[in-house]
């Protein structure tokens, strides 16, 4: 089950924690993985790790905020069966202390970047009358989170784009879903704690972990498992859905 043999998968942000976990898992399941990231060194590291395990990986250095760059990369790949939009940036701030530059950055990466990749992938999927798009949204598009104004804006847009694409292309054999993770233990989290709570790293790590009712943060691999299912043929009846993967955060945090 959940094999991806003979399929091309493009995973944006696959130099980072969640994207890397997805790229590794897809390769293990037989896909030819196109490792898309702005950071060439990080992309090469992910691809080399995959090749060391006898997987198929191709590095594509790309700025997802540039429609020209994205179009060129997807033309070079010459069609994908699966697109995972994992590239994204985070931000801490409310409506008053979020600067215009910060807001624009969140929009350009988290919203326009997703749009650019979807727009580039769909024509190839339509030719095959088959394809899967999986977007990373967030619990932030389901509940209010303190000091996540711009981030919530961007992930709310991802959720809305998911529904729109699923509706518009269902007759073209294209499925589109999104997932909404709670806090995932990534280098960003460690860096955020170290920067903002020096000397209290362990205390804050435990506090953030316990904000999920299950009592811990997710592992990138756990996020990847859900993504694999939704991108596999076993999920062929699923489209236009958002899947919380949140340790009980949305429904049990009361």
As to burial, measured by CB atoms within 10 angstroms (0-12 exposed, 13-18 middle, 19+ buried), residue 148 is buried
**Which positions ≥6 away from 23 have C-beta within 8 Å?**
9, 11, 14, 33, 35, 46, 50, 57
> Which residue pairs from 187-195 have beta carbons closer than 8 angstroms and sit at least 24 positions apart in sequence?
187/16, 187/17, 188/17, 188/90, 189/217, 192/92
How far, CA to CA in Å, does 251 sit from each of 45, 119, 175, 183?
Answer: 38, 34, 26, 15
- Quote the CA–CA distance of 238 and 105 in Å, as a whole number: 32
- Quote the CA–CA distance of 90 and 213 in Å, as a whole number: 22
Q: On the CB side of 202, how many CA atoms lie within 13 Å of its CA? A: 0
Catalytic residue among 151, 169, 225, 229: 151
Catalytic residue flag (residue 151): yes
The set of catalytic residues is 151
């Amino acid at each position: 089950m959940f094999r991806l043999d003979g399929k091309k998968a493009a995973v944006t942000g696959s130099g980072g924690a969640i994207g890397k976990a997805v790229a590794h898992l897809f390769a293990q399941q037989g896909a030819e993985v196109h490792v898309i990231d702005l950071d060439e060194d990080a992309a090469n590291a992910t691809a080399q790790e995959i090749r060391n395990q006898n997987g198929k990986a191709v590095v594509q250095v790309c700025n997802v905020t540039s429609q020209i760059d994205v179009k060129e990369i997807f033309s070079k790949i010459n069609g994908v069966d699966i697109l995972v939009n994992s590239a994204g940036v985070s931000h801490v701030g409310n409506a008053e202390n979020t600067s215009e530059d910060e807001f624009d950055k969140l929009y350009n990466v988290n919203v326009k970047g997703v749009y650019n990749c979807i727009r580039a992938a769909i024509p190839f999927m339509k030719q095959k009358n088959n394809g899967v798009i999986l977007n990373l949204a967030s619990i932030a598009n389901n509940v209010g989170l303190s000091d996540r104004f711009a981030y919530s804006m961007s992930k709310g847009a991802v959720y809305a784009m998911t529904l729109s694409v699923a509706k518009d292309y269902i007759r073209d054999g294209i499925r589109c879903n999104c997932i909404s993770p709670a806090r995932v233990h990534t280098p960003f989290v460690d860096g955020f704690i170290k920067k903002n709570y020096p000397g209290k790293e362990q205390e804050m790590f435990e506090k953030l972990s316990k904000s999920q009712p299950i009592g811990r943060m997710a592992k990138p691999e756990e996020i990847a498992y859900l993504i694999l299912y939704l991108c596999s043929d076993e999920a062929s009846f699923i489209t236009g859905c958002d899947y919380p993967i949140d340790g009980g955060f949305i429904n049990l945090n009361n």
